[in-house]
Structure 1
Amino acid sequence: MAGAEERRSLLGDDDDYGESDPGPPTDRTMLAVCDPTRLLHRIVVLVFMCFLGFGSYFCYDNPASLQTEVTQDMNLNTSQFMQLYAWYSWPNVVLCFLGGFLLDRVFGIRLGTVIFSLFVCVGQVIFAAGALLNRFWLMEVGRFVFGIGGESLAVAQNTYAVNWFKGKELNLVFGLQLSMARLGSTVNMNIMGWVYNRMADLIGATGPTTLGAALMIASATCLFSFACALVLGYLDKRAEKILKKEKGKTGEVIKLTDVKDFPLSLWLIFIICVGYYVAIFPFIGLGQVFFIEKFNFSPAQARAINSVVYIISAPASPILGFMVDKTGRNVIWVICAVVTTLIAHMMLAFTFWNPWIAMSLLGVSYSLLACALWPMVAFVVPDHQLGTAYGFMQSIQNLGLALIAMAAGAILDTRGYLFLEVFFSACICLALIAVVLLYFVDLLQGGELNLSAVARASLQEEARLQKEATLDSE
Structure 2
Amino acid sequence: MINKNQSTSSDLSNDKLSKEAAELKQQDKAIYTNNSIEENLLEEDSVNHKEDVYRKQKRYYFLPFACFILIGGFFNNTFQAFIKQQFMDSMGIDSSGYNLFVLIPPLPNIILPVFSGHIFNWLNLRRGLFLFSSMVLIGMTLCLIASYPKSLPLMIIGKTIHQIGNEMLCIGQSALVSIWFDSTTISFAFTWGSFVSKLSGSVAGIVFPQLYNIEDDLQIPLFVSVGTCAFSFLCVLVVIYYDYQAEKLFHADKKKGGLTLKQLKEFSGLYWIYASQAALLYGTFYAFESYLHAILQHKFGIDKTTAGSMVSIPFWVSFSAPVFGIIADKFGKRIFCLIATAFVALISIIVILIMPGSTAESVIYIPLVAFGMFLSMMAAYLFPVYPLLCKLEVIKAAFGIGYASKNAGLSLFGYVGGQILGSDEENYNAYLFFFIGIFVVSIIVSVYGFILDKKAGGNINSKRPHVSNVAEEISKRMSLGGSMIQ
Q: 2 CA distance for matches of 1:263 and 1:20? A: 30
1:425–1:19 Cα change, 3 Å = farther
Report % sequence identity. Answer: 22
1:275–1:232 Cα change, 3 Å = closer
Alpha-carbon deviation of 1:75? 3.5
Amino acid at match of 1:216: F
Amino acid at match of 2:278: C
Instruction: Identify the residue that residue 8 of structure 1 maps to in structure 2.
Output: none
* Structure 1: segments with no counterpart, 5+ residues: 1-16, 24-35, 201-209
The answer to whether 1:183 aligns with 2:199 is yes
Alpha-carbon deviation of 1:232? 4.6
1:339–1:38 Cα change, 3 Å = closer
The answer to whether 1:295 aligns with 2:305 is no
1:373–1:303 Cα change, 3 Å = same
- Residue by residue over 1:191-236, the C-alpha shift from the partner in whole angstroms, topping out at 9 and shown as x without a partner, is 0111111123xxxxxxxxx224432332121122223334554566
Alpha-carbon deviation of 1:329? 2.2
- Residue by residue over 1:272-310, the C-alpha shift from the partner in whole angstroms, topping out at 9 and shown as x without a partner, is 332223331111111123212222333343223211211
Alpha-carbon deviation of 1:247? 11
Secondary structure of the residue that 1:279 maps to in structure 2? helix
The answer to whether 1:266 aligns with 2:283 is no
Alpha-carbon deviation of 1:344? 0.4
Alpha-carbon deviation of 1:327? 2.1
Amino acid at match of 2:422: D
Q: TM-score, normalised by structure 1?
A: 0.78
Q: 2 CA distance for matches of 1:125 and 1:113? A: 18
The answer to whether 1:423 aligns with 2:427 is no
Alpha-carbon deviation of 1:437? 2.6
- Residue by residue over 1:77-126, the C-alpha shift from the partner in whole angstroms, topping out at 9 and shown as x without a partner, is 434323333333222223313334333432x4443322211111111121
The answer to whether 1:330 aligns with 2:334 is yes
The answer to whether 1:391 aligns with 2:395 is no
Instruction: Identify the residue that residue 230 of structure 2 maps to in structure 1.
Output: 223
Q: 2 CA distance for matches of 1:45 and 1:116? A: 19
Secondary structure of the residue that 1:448 maps to in structure 2? coil
Q: Superposition pairs for residues 236-251 of structure 1, below 5 Å?
A: 239=245, 244=249
* Structure 2: segments with no counterpart, 5+ residues: 1-47
Asked whether the equivalents of residues 155 and 250 of structure 1 are also in contact (C-alpha less than 8 Å), the reply is no
The answer to whether 1:192 aligns with 2:208 is yes
Q: 1 CA distance for matches of 2:49 and 2:380? A: 22
Q: 1:365 aligns with which of 353, 367, 374?
A: 374
Asked whether the equivalents of residues 287 and 411 of structure 2 are also in contact (C-alpha less than 8 Å), the reply is no
Asked whether the equivalents of residues 273 and 431 of structure 1 are also in contact (C-alpha less than 8 Å), the reply is no
Q: 1:59 aligns with which of 76, 87, 97?
A: 76
Q: 2:289 aligns with which of 281, 284, 287?
A: 284
Q: 2 CA distance for matches of 1:279 and 1:327? A: 27
Alpha-carbon deviation of 1:38? 7.2
Instruction: Identify the residue that residue 128 of structure 1 maps to in structure 2.
Output: 144
1:264–1:48 Cα change, 3 Å = closer
Q: TM-score, normalised by structure 2?
A: 0.76
Alpha-carbon deviation of 1:338? 1.0
Q: 2 CA distance for matches of 1:101 and 1:319? A: 34
Asked whether the equivalents of residues 281 and 439 of structure 2 are also in contact (C-alpha less than 8 Å), the reply is yes
Amino acid at match of 1:180: V
Bigger mean CA deviation after superposition, 187-196 or 320-329: 320-329
Q: 1:320 aligns with which of 306, 321, 324?
A: 324
Asked whether the equivalents of residues 326 and 453 of structure 1 are also in contact (C-alpha less than 8 Å), the reply is yes
The answer to whether 1:306 aligns with 2:311 is yes
Q: 2 CA distance for matches of 1:375 and 1:177? A: 11
Asked whether the equivalents of residues 272 and 430 of structure 1 are also in contact (C-alpha less than 8 Å), the reply is no
Q: 2 CA distance for matches of 1:264 and 1:57? A: 31
Say which one has the larger Rg. 2
Instruction: Identify the residue that residue 27 of structure 1 maps to in structure 2.
Output: none
Instruction: Identify the residue that residue 445 of structure 2 maps to in structure 1.
Output: 434
Alpha-carbon deviation of 1:373? 3.0
- Residue by residue over 1:243-275, the C-alpha shift from the partner in whole angstroms, topping out at 9 and shown as x without a partner, is 655699797442244333444333333333322
Amino acid at match of 2:313: V
1:38–1:440 Cα change, 3 Å = closer
1:140–1:245 Cα change, 3 Å = same
Asked whether the equivalents of residues 50 and 250 of structure 2 are also in contact (C-alpha less than 8 Å), the reply is no
Instruction: Identify the residue that residue 204 of structure 1 maps to in structure 2.
Output: none
- Residue by residue over 1:141-193, the C-alpha shift from the partner in whole angstroms, topping out at 9 and shown as x without a partner, is 11111122101222333455566677977655444332211111111111011
Amino acid at match of 1:93: I
1:83–1:199 Cα change, 3 Å = same
Asked whether the equivalents of residues 109 and 248 of structure 1 are also in contact (C-alpha less than 8 Å), the reply is no
Amino acid at match of 1:346: I
Amino acid at match of 1:453: K
- Residue by residue over 1:421-460, the C-alpha shift from the partner in whole angstroms, topping out at 9 and shown as x without a partner, is 11111111111221223333444x2452564426x579x9
Amino acid at match of 1:435: S
1:374–1:110 Cα change, 3 Å = closer
Instruction: Identify the residue that residue 13 of structure 1 maps to in structure 2.
Output: none
Instruction: Identify the residue that residue 203 of structure 1 maps to in structure 2.
Output: none
1:336–1:43 Cα change, 3 Å = closer
The answer to whether 1:144 aligns with 2:155 is no
Asked whether the equivalents of residues 118 and 257 of structure 2 are also in contact (C-alpha less than 8 Å), the reply is yes
The answer to whether 1:119 aligns with 2:135 is yes
1:228–1:374 Cα change, 3 Å = closer
Q: 2 CA distance for matches of 1:198 and 1:319? A: 37
Q: 2:93 aligns with which of 52, 76, 89?
A: 76
Instruction: Identify the residue that residue 6 of structure 1 maps to in structure 2.
Output: none
